[in-house]
Structure formats: structure tokens, C-alpha cells
């Protein structure tokens, strides 16, 4: 269902107004700026916009209009905890359960960039131990907290017998797990299927030049 010219005019005004003022316009604001003869016409068309799913209105509340969909600038970003630097071989400190709030250091990414994934955390790479994965010193990597993995995934994996977490490329073999550093100079090693736990999987990497 398409918008009439008056409706798209109103809708655009809503976006502009909210962008500028950070609060929605009143019906009379809309009336004046869109050259509409009567408040009832504005009300009428706002009802239409609501029927068409573009806005939501709260009854009897002044300026009680909310933009829906991608026009709503709410939640366009996600704040992700930056847990620290990760160096070759050094163990990673992973976040507590469910504690994705209240972190001292964090980065902000657009939701578009991370998709619908939740439970994300970030690490900064120190050194060039991941150079084969085209990740270098200073890069930021974003991980998704999960214990699933596919062959070849780059994961943060906890080795029980070592009592430590490292970052490796993982492969499932017949009766063991191969963990391969992302640097040719270091050798791969193997763990027993019950001696490890995947804690997170690489999702995105970012470099500021």
C-alpha cells in the first residue's frame, strides 16, 4: 500500500523534525510545516500512517508519535565490551555470564555491521601472531559468544588441561581436535574431544589505518 503525497510529506517532516529536535512534532507543528488546512486532516493522515505501519501513536499524549522501522534511529548501534588486548599465546579473559553491561572499556558498532547477533565481545590484537589470518597488531576483532563451530573457524577455545583460553583456527578430525595458530612459524597442536570448549567465534575484524 502506497503513500499519498500528503502522507509522505508528513512522514518526511516527522523524520526531519525528530532528527533536528529529538522530540516529535505536535499535530499543529505538522499542520503548519506541511501546509495543511486543518488539524483533523493531520490526524486523519497520521491514522493512515499508523495503519500502514510506519508510525505508532500514543493516545492523548502530546507528541506521542514514534517512527517505526529503519527510520527509528533507536538501537542503530550496539555497545560491545572491549575485554582487553590479546597477545600470542597469552590466555584470554572472557566475560562473566550475561555481563554484557557495565564494562569499563567498550566500542560502539552499528547494528547493521553486527547483524542480529548478540553476546558479542571485542579484543584488540597485540603483536603479529595472527598474521596469516590477515590480522595484525592493533586490529580489533569481534567475537560472538558461542560453543558451536565449523571446520576452519577462528575461535577462542578453552583448554581444560591447560586451564587457559587461546585464539586458534579449529578443525575437527576423526578422534581429535586440531588447533592451528594463525602464524606459520608456530605449530599446530591437538587436543582430545573432551579437553576443550569453544567460547567464541570470530565474526568481524576492524583495522584503523
Partner DNA sequence: AAAAAAACAACACATATGTTCTAATACATA
Partner DNA sequence: TATGTATTAGAACATATGTGTTGTTTTTTT
Tell me the catalytic residues: 129, 168
Q: Please report, as residue ranges, which positions from 63 to 82 form the binding site for DNA (by CB under 7 A).
A: 63-64
Strands 120-126 and 77-87: parallel
- Total residues at the site for DNA (CB under 7 A)? 23
Q: Please report, as residue ranges, which positions from 72 to 111 form the binding site for a second copy (by CB under 8 A).
A: 72-74, 76-77, 107-111
- Which grid coordinates belong to 207? 583495522
**40 is a contact residue toward DNA (CB under 7 A):** yes
Q: Of a second copy, DNA, none, which one does residue 57 interact with (CB within 5 to 8 Å by kind)? A: DNA
Cell 606459520, residue located: 184
List the one residue from 30, 36, 65, 125 that touches a second copy (CB under 8 A): 65
- Residues with Cβ within 8 Å of 189's Cβ and at least 6 positions away in sequence, in order, are 178, 179
Q: Of DNA, a second copy, none, which one does residue 135 interact with (CB within 5 to 8 Å by kind)? A: a second copy
**9 is a contact residue toward DNA (CB under 7 A):** no
Chain-centroid distance, C-alpha 16: 26
**63 is a contact residue toward a second copy (CB under 8 A):** yes
Q: Is 87 helix (H, G, I), strand (E, B) or coil?
A: strand
- Residues with Cβ within 8 Å of 83's Cβ and at least 6 positions away in sequence, in order, are 92, 93, 94, 95, 103, 105, 121, 122, 123
**136 is a contact residue toward a second copy (CB under 8 A):** yes
Q: Of the candidates 167, 164, 170, which has an alpha carbon nearest to the alpha carbon of residue 149?
A: 170
Q: Of a second copy, DNA, none, which one does residue 41 interact with (CB within 5 to 8 Å by kind)? A: DNA
Binding site for a second copy (CB under 8 A): 19, 21-24, 26, 58, 61-67, 72-74, 76-77, 107-113, 131, 134-136, 154, 202-209
Amino acid at each position: 500500500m502506497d503513500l499519498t503525497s500528503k502522507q509522505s510529506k508528513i512522514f518526511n517532516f516527522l523524520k526531519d523534525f525528530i532528527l533536528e529536535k529529538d522530540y516529535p512534532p505536535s499535530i499543529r507543528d505538522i499542520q503548519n510545516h506541511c501546509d495543511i488546512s486543518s488539524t483533523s486532516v493531520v490526524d486523519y493522515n497520521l491514522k493512515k500512517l499508523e495503519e500502514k505501519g510506519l508510525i505508532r501513536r500514543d493516545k492523548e499524549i502530546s507528541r506521542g508519535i514514534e517512527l517505526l522501522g529503519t527510520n527509528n534511529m533507536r538501537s542503530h548501534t550496539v555497545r560491545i565490551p572491549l575485554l582487553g588486548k590479546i597477545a600470542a599465546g597469552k590466555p584470554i579473559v572472557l566475560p562473566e555470564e550475561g555481563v554484557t553491561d557495565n564494562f569499563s572499556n567498550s566500542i560502539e558498532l552499528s547494528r547493521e555491521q553486527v547483524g542480529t547477533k548478540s553476546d558479542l565481545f571485542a579484543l584488540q590484537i597485540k603483536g603479529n601472531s595472527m598474521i596469516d589470518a590477515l590480522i595484525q597488531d592493533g586490529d580489533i576483532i569481534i567475537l560472538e559468544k558461542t560453543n558451536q563451530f565449523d571446520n576452519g573457524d577462528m575461535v577462542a577455545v578453552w583448554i581444560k588441561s591447560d586451564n587457559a583460553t587461546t585464539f586458534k583456527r579449529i578443525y575437527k578430525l576423526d578422534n581429535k581436535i586440531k588447533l592451528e595458530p594463525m602464524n606459520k612459524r608456530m605449530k599446530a597442536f591437538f587436543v582430545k574431544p573432551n579437553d576443550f570448549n569453544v567460547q567464541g567465534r570470530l565474526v568481524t575484524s576492524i583495522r584503523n589505518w
